[in-house]
A and B are shown apart, each in its own frame.
Chain A
Amino acid sequence: MRRIKERNLKKQGNRTIGIKVSLKDRSLDVVRYAAYAVSDAAYVFIKPAGKSAVALEFAPKNSAAAKNLPRRFKEELNDEQKRAAIFDSNRDLREFMILKALAYEEIPPAGQQEDSGLTPEQERELDALIAQVESEIKKESSGNKVKDPLGITRTWEEKYGAKTGHKKK
């Protein structure tokens, strides 16, 4: 905002308000969005003003609207600059979050999980069988190690140990 020169704010004969804004530390889009935000009060024309600035010409829609226009525009410009920085730094994060949300599947609570149709005894037998198969697979694979220098096939726990509940300093 420091770059907006107050002396450039002037009311002209045809009732337009001129404001010159530097583009050295903000993009043209930031200026455009800030100008659009006050388009209820004025028609806005944006023209180049040298290599790194633009001149905005506000034509107020009525005299009441003209009153606070420069102040409103400045506030919008400040806000927009902050928004643009936050948006830029979060673009990837936000895309990730929305993609995750789009693909999100709610896991039903335990009580609502599908009934397997097995008796508790059969469930226990099945668990024992699965444990036996898993231990056999582990035995077989331990004598037949595959090269994995980067540890890609290892789980997070195998690499870093189980969660201890203590935060790393």
Chain B
Amino acid sequence: MAQKQATKKNKKSQSLLPQALWQKIGANYLLTNDSGHYAWLKEKDFALVTAGKMAEKDPLFAELAAKGFIRNRLDFNDLAAKWKKKNAYLYYGPGLHILVMTLRCGNKCLYCQSAAAGLGAKHTDMPLAVARKSVDLAFNSPNPGITIEFQGGEPLLNWEVLKSTVVYARKKARISGKDLKLALVSNFSLMTAEKAEFLLKHEVSLCTSLDGPKALHDENRVSSAGSSYEDTVKWIKFFQARHDTQVPEYRVFKPSALLTVSRYSLSSHKEIIDEYVGMGLEDIFIRPLAPIGYARRLWGKIGYDAKDFSIFYLKSLDYILKLNQRGVVIREKMASMMLDKIVNFRDPGYLDARCPCGAAIGQLAYNYNGDIYTCDEGRMVGWEGNDLFRIGNVFTDSYKKVITSATTKVCVVSSNLEAQPVCARCAYKPYCGVCPVYNYETQGTLWGNMPANDRCGLFKGIFKALFTLLKNPEKAAILKKWVAK
């Protein structure tokens, strides 16, 4: 009898779908699994699959079996390989190390999350000793690839320290044998030919902010020196030209730009994208504004809800695809990173959409005074007077202490999607991630409440759009080309 019951139970469990997640979109179901495979099913096929009644001769059967959606046809090696590739970051320590060279800045951008200090606040410049200690700690990470990103305020305001740190980090990389990438995020207002030569020679990649055409850019990014647009554009063109001509002695990277969407941007998606294309930039990162730091205080003036941003984002994506169809090379960065996971089962290094999130285990932010934060967003919360995300100081705490701190652990636990009631059931889980800092700032809890979370709504909108576009062969071909490398 006991045996009979066991057999019956086995038969029952065999008849069900293997572990899978789904989302009804329109009349169809999107089915996904832990390894990142996905399939579109009509309602009747979804019912058959979930009931374990899909016949072997059904045209869909082979596809579903190959993707790990048929319980007695699982290819464990393939599923395991894809899972590991997609989650490769779990095997390394933090790779991104953000050094806040100063809080000073000549710009007073409407949304500035870093809450920049005035030009006279020299006490917020990072001393060389702090910079070196930060680099030392960064190199203690077991990650074989280290990226040091110089940020601010405007990092060029602390040029001498920045310069010494670049040289020091390069030396450190040679000794340790690690792969080092250096990056500078600057508004270029203080860039000079001499500084540019130094940065190019030391293979520092350059990133700036470009919010669109002159009027819009200057409206968002208010400069004490008049227009901030002129400097930005001048130096983007300079670095583009240097990239195009290259030299044998060192690699010159293509400059990149970040777009922050304020309320003023919402009606100008075409103009913004055209500006990027006109500048020769091949990637545009359409980032929503987050109500963190200074932006939160001005949210009523410059903010918007997730729905408004989603409309803007989808219109932009549609326009970018149309440009691609006409042969123009331009990609949307957020979509590219999500697609890398969906299409290539690869981790694109997008720390905001990981499980657990990149806070501390993927990145560390070093403030000008040596304080270490889980991430740059956590540092911004600290600047507002709440040091919840501070996990140490370069002078007093070891790498081990920082990475095993209670705050690090709580960020890992709260951003584990398996433990998030809604995320654990979401079809987009294999490609998504939550942000404890965002949750804390907007909902007062590290865990957040995903059904009412704007970031969650936004990501869902983006995923829905991407999966829908992937159903269209012509658009899918363009999107796949973005991540074919």
Contact = CB atoms under 8 A, between A and B. Distances in A.
| A and B associate in one complex | yes
A148 B449 CA distance: 58
Q: Which residue among B34, B81, B425, B452 has the maximum number of chain A CB atoms within 10 Å of its CB?
A: B425
A100 B80 contact: yes
Contacts of B54: none
A94 B18 CA distance: 8
B84 A37 contact: no
Contacts of A37: 421-422, 425, 451
A109 B422 CA distance: 40
A125 B73 CA distance: 42
Contacts of B17: 86
A153 B80 CA distance: 27
Interface string B12-35: 110011111000000000000011
B44 to A, nearest CB: 16
A107 to B, nearest CB: 10
A89 B452 contact: no
Q: Which of A39, A86, A93, A101 has the most CB atoms of chain B within a 10 A radius of its CB?
A: A101
Given A38-B451, A39-B449, A100-B76, A86 B20 contact: yes
A94 B80 CA distance: 11
B83 A98 contact: yes
Contact of B16 (A80, A89, A98): A89
A87 interface: yes
Given A37-B422, A86-B16, A86-B17, A98 B34 contact: yes
B321 to A, nearest CB: 31
Given A37-B422, A104-B84, A87 B19 contact: yes
Nearest to A75: B24
A40 interface: yes
A97 B81 contact: no
Interface residues of A, number: 26
A41 B452 CA distance: 8
B425 A97 contact: no
Contacts of A27: none
Contact of B421 (A33, A41, A102): A33
Interface string B437-473: 0000000000001011000000000000000000000
A94 B12 contact: no
B13 A89 contact: yes
B451 A39 contact: yes
Given A80-B425, A87-B19, A101-B80, A36 B451 contact: yes
A72 to B, nearest CB: 10
B299 to A, nearest CB: 19
Contacts of B140: none
Interface in B34-91: 34-35, 50, 71, 74, 76-77, 79-81, 83-84, 87
Interface string A15-38: 000000000000000000100111
Q: What size tier do the contact residues of chain B reach?
A: 20 to 34
Contacts of A106: 81, 84
Given A39-B452, A89-B12, A97-B34, A83 B425 contact: yes
Contacts of B422: 36-37
A85 interface: yes
B12 A97 contact: no
A41 B35 CA distance: 32
A80 B452 CA distance: 19
B89 to A, nearest CB: 13
B19 A102 contact: no
Given A80-B425, A86-B17, A104 B80 contact: yes
A52 interface: no
Nearest to B453: A40
Contacts of A101: 35, 79-81, 83-84, 87
Contacts of A98: 34, 83
A39 B87 CA distance: 30
Contacts of A38: 451
Contacts of A93: 18-19, 71, 74
B176 to A, nearest CB: 24
Interface string A108-127: 00000000000000000000
A146 B410 CA distance: 55
A47 interface: no
Given A37-B451, A40-B451, A101-B83, A94 B421 contact: no
Interface in A26-73: 33, 36-41
B19 A94 contact: yes
A5 interface: no
- In the A-B complex, list the 4 residue pairs whose CB atoms are closest, starting with the nearest: A40-B451, A101-B83, A101-B80, A40-B452
Interface of B: 12-13, 16-20, 34-35, 50, 71, 74, 76-77, 79-81, 83-84, 87, 421-422, 425, 449, 451-452
21 contacts: A36-B451, A37-B422, A39-B449, A40-B451, A82-B50, A83-B425, A86-B16, A86-B17, A86-B19, A86-B20, A89-B12, A90-B13, A93-B19, A93-B74, A97-B74, A97-B76, A97-B79, A101-B80, A101-B83, A104-B77, A104-B80
Given A36-B451, A90-B71, A100-B76, 11 more contacts: A39-B449, A39-B451, A86-B16, A86-B18, A87-B19, A90-B16, A93-B71, A94-B18, A101-B79, A101-B81, A106-B81
